[in-house]
Amino acid sequence: MNIFNAFIVGFKEIWAHKFRSLLTMLGIILGVSSLIGMSALVKGMENGMREALIAVGGVERVRLDDKDIPQYQQHLADQAVGCTMNDVYALEKSAPLIKMVTPEMRLRDAVATYGAKTYEIWNFVGTWPNALEMNQHVVQYGRMFNEIDDQNARNVCVIGVNVRDHLFGSDEDLGYEYNPVGRTINIRGMPFTIIGMFERYESERSKKERELAKLQPPDPSRTNGPARSRGWGGRAANGGFVYGMKNSTVYIPLNTMWVKFRASAGSNNIPDPRLTTLSVKVADVNHFDEAIQQAQNVLMRTHNGIEDFTFQTQEDWADTINKAIHNYRVSGGIIAAIGLLVGGIGIMNIMLASITERIREIGIRKAIGGSFLDIFIQILVESVVIAIIGGVVGLVTSVGLVNLFSYVSPDDNTPVITANACILAFIFSVCVGILAGLIPAFKAAKLDPIQALRYE
């Protein structure tokens, strides 16, 4: 009996017990689709994390953050100055391995108003013009402020696209693209003239979705009235957390920030010269560690030897991403594989029941010339056919499952089905089918024909 015949017999046998076979397959179907779904989710996470990593600047960017003073220096706490412009100038002068230094003074609780509309800015930052390059911003309309704006502490700002959307209306609200350059908005009660706007930062997926939405006729219910808040978890407007933060940016010159907000801050009018963050760009990624060490040495001088700062490198982040992805993949894979194994046990169970039911048939087949191998192959193929059908159906259902996942997962983590995952899941399901069929096939094939024929 050749394999082709065995497959036909296998299909017939499965067709003869449709419901039983379907239940048996269900284990494999769920196992395969959960394996693929899991891998799609992890792949989506990976893509989202990598895109976000690129959006905040490449690996050569290092951020200087405040850190708690170490235990052995606690007694010097009142001499710790924090990050100031002294650090910036020192790094510029004394650290040749550092290519660029960008100071940032950030102000929280910054609300922008225009007419009756208000918007709470996430990232209200006074900085240098080189922040444009440091933070990978792209100006769409107008210009970035320059050194003269900074020296004169002019009340100018460059805004992110979310600020424009909320104060002037988004493309979807207005039906056209609004250019806010030249308008004056109030931030914390201070008038600022908009001289530029950044382009919209978004993940590949939301970009595609937005472009598709443009082709649709405008929704009449949205053409009028104010834009409503969608809550913090809204998936429509921002398109991902990192992108949302980046789009919700307002840059003003550092000196403007200092003069207008920081020079007399708080209720007791004490100036606050500390920088919120200080970003540096390493000249050569191949000398990354040396550059960090150099910056560290310089900063130890300006900080009076008190280690109240730390370097946040994107490399750490990239490593963290890789590690996290690996962990997700392994743990999710193990769980899904257990699911598949359970499906395989289901197959074995039903095959054992099936051969017990068919002892007489096996006896007849042996009496008329079926050899050990013939019977073995027949039973094995039957189990493999169940696994193959289950695997194929599982591949199909996994598409639905992944679509379902994409509704509940964050926008920039869109699950992605990879061909590798499909092939792996399918091969795995076939292997499970073979393994599950081995014992029943062996049991059936070694039946004594005389005993089997007598079996009632």
Binding residues for another protein (CB under 8 A):
1-2, 5, 12-13, 16, 360-361, 363-374, 449-450, 453
Q: CB of residue 377 vs another protein: minimum separation in angstroms?
A: 11
Q: Cβ contacts of residue 333 below 8 Å, gap of 6+?
A: 35, 38, 39
Q: Give whole-number Cα distances, 339 to 28, 236, 425, in Å.
A: 8, 35, 12
Q: CB of residue 10 vs another protein: minimum separation in angstroms?
A: 13
Q: CB of residue 422 vs another protein: minimum separation in angstroms?
A: 34
In eight-state DSSP terms, residue 135 is: T
What tokens does 192 get? 């600022």
- Residue 370 has phi, psi (to 5 degrees) of -75, 125
Helix pair 314-357, 359-367: axis angle to 10 deg: 70
- Pairwise CA distance, residues 82 & 87, whole Å: 9
Give me the sign of the Cα torsion angle 261, 267, 272, 275. Answer: negative
Q: CB of residue 236 vs another protein: minimum separation in angstroms?
A: 57
Nearer to another protein, 1 or 26 (CB): 1
Q: Give whole-number Cα distances, 79 to 37, 53, 63, 266, 313, in Å.
A: 55, 35, 23, 21, 27
Helix pair 18-55, 3-16: axis angle to 10 deg: 100
Whether the CB-CB separation of 17 and 414 falls below 8 Å is answered with no
Nearer to another protein, 241 or 455 (CB): 455
Q: CB of residue 16 vs another protein: minimum separation in angstroms?
A: 6
Nearer to another protein, 20 or 208 (CB): 20
Q: Give whole-number Cα distances, 240 to 52, 132, 222, 378, in Å.
A: 9, 21, 22, 53
282 in helix, strand or coil? strand
Nearer to another protein, 8 or 427 (CB): 8
Q: CB of residue 5 vs another protein: minimum separation in angstroms?
A: 6
Nearer to another protein, 23 or 367 (CB): 367
Nearer to another protein, 178 or 455 (CB): 455
428 in helix, strand or coil? helix
Nearer to another protein, 139 or 364 (CB): 364
Nearer to another protein, 212 or 368 (CB): 368
Nearer to another protein, 321 or 377 (CB): 377
Nearer to another protein, 5 or 152 (CB): 5
Q: CB of residue 17 vs another protein: minimum separation in angstroms?
A: 10
- Pairwise CA distance, residues 402 & 383, whole Å: 27
- Pairwise CA distance, residues 385 & 365, whole Å: 20
Whose CA is closest to 350, among 372, 379, 370?
A: 379
Q: How big is the chain by its Cα radius of gyration, in Å?
A: 33
Number of Cβ within a 10 Å radius of residue 51? 19
- Pairwise CA distance, residues 437 & 10, whole Å: 12
Nearer to another protein, 5 or 418 (CB): 5
Q: CB of residue 8 vs another protein: minimum separation in angstroms?
A: 10
Q: CB of residue 373 vs another protein: minimum separation in angstroms?
A: 7
Q: CB of residue 423 vs another protein: minimum separation in angstroms?
A: 33
- Pairwise CA distance, residues 187 & 169, whole Å: 18
Q: CB of residue 365 vs another protein: minimum separation in angstroms?
A: 7
